Amino acid sequence: MALDTDRRRQLHALKLKSLAETYLGISLSDLNGTEDGAIGIKRLDDCVTAVILAEERCSRAIGVAMAAATKVEADVIHIFVKEEAGSLASAAELFRNSPTVWELNDRIATRAVAVYPTSKEPTDADPALIAVLEAADVDVVYEHGIVAGEIRGLEVARIESDGEEQKITVGVGAHDREAFALLHGGMPSEEALLRVTETVQFHRRAGAEPHPLNRLNAERWLRSQLIGSPQKIGATVLSSASPPIARRSLKETIPAVAYGRMADGNQVVVVCTVGIDLNLIAFGAQARRDTDPEAQLKFVVPERDAHPLLKAMVEKLVVPAELIAIDDDWRDWKSPGSLA
């Protein structure tokens, strides 16, 4: 039987209390269970220790830990995780006063060994199919070996293979692509794309009535706006880039990444999100490491989402970065020369 939320939080808190006593030799004074884990604080003389347990959504553990540590000005940070410990340990190194990551196997904890990303999977998509996407006036996006067509950041098509041949599948997300194929399987790709893009363009525009098509993937919509108007953040050219981790579905919200050049000639990695995301800074630092470690790093968020905690976390990065707050009406931007 599934546990209710309160009981789940209690168990997370008790587990973290036990781990801190067993492996760190400390008794946590402030202890709070969450749906994803628990957060505990120990104050002793002039030293503040923050201890975090990540039971769910482990990929976000560094961001949660750094946010908690920043709030209490922690001197020491420990994170216990049951998944992705190696990649989290490498992400922790991107911060000053790096957290120590512990890998949990049942209730046995060992210090995690950092695991660094391998080269990104190249695409083997058919150039002729890529040309079809380009001719349909959609943005062609390459991420983790996947080639997709997007309208203002929303995927409307992708190139897929059944092992024997490649084809363009049309639709917003996997379920919509499957449904569209069942209903319109014989329709030529060009015609199918036109039908879907017209619908998405109508709903996904500034001033449109609320609709699922203009609520999904706002962070990618912001990225597409910046690619069209890079001068908004002092850049001359931007293009989409792969995030540190691949999205598992259309509904999964992770920051959107772009790569390009600033007006001063320096390369830049731009990481966008809409809404307050405590994992933004850790995610962006990983994106720069994976894309171009020598590049500048700019975090771009709407002004209402530029929380002071995010600004404080940026200051904790080993390599400097900048948080840029842009107009809340960013959806209204028009690209230079655009008539839309």
Map out the domains of the chain as residue ranges: 5-111, 127-212, 217-331
pLDDT of 72 > 70? The answer is yes
Say if residue 71's pLDDT is above 90. yes
For residue 121, how many C-alpha atoms fall within 13 Å in the half-sphere facing its CB? 13
Q: How far from chain centre, in Å, is Cα 253? A: 6
- Give me 19's structure tokens: 């781990």
In contact, 161 and 184? CB cutoff 8 Å: no
Least confident of 49-53, 95-99, 147-151, 183-187: 183-187
In DSSP terms, 110 is beta-bridged to 103
pLDDT of residue 180: 55
Q: Which residues face 132 on adjacent strands?
A: none
Do 22 and 36 contact (CB within 8 A), yes or no? no
Rounded CA gap, 144 and 123, in Å?
A: 8
Q: What confidence score (pLDDT) does residue 334 get? A: 82
What pLDDT is stored for residue 185 in this prediction?
A: 57
pLDDT at 15 over 60: yes
More confident residue, 123 or 143: 143
Q: Residue 29: what pLDDT?
A: 86
Span 55-59, mean pLDDT?
93
Half-sphere exposure of 251 (CA within 13 A, CB side): 4
Q: Supply the pTM of this predicted model.
A: 0.90
> Which segment of 11-25, 176-190, 257-271 scores lowest on mean pLDDT?
176-190
pLDDT at 156 over 80: yes
DSSP 218-256: HHHHHHHHHHH-GGGGTEEEEEEE--SS--SSTT----E
Q: Which fold has domain 217-331?
A: Trna Endonuclease; Chain: A, domain 1 (3.40.1350)
For residue 199, give Cα distances in angstroms to 149, 172, 186, 194, 202: 14, 11, 20, 9, 5
User: What is the rounded CA–CA span in Å between residue 35 and residue 28?
Assistant: 19
Q: Phi, psi at residue 25, to the nearest 5°?
A: 70, 30
Determine the average pLDDT of the residues in 256-263.
Answer: 98
The pLDDT mean for the chain works out to 90
Residue 183 — pLDDT band, cuts 50, 70, 90?
A: very low
Assess whether pLDDT exceeds 80 at residue 120. Answer: no
Report pLDDT for 337.
Answer: 45
pLDDT of amino acid 249: 80
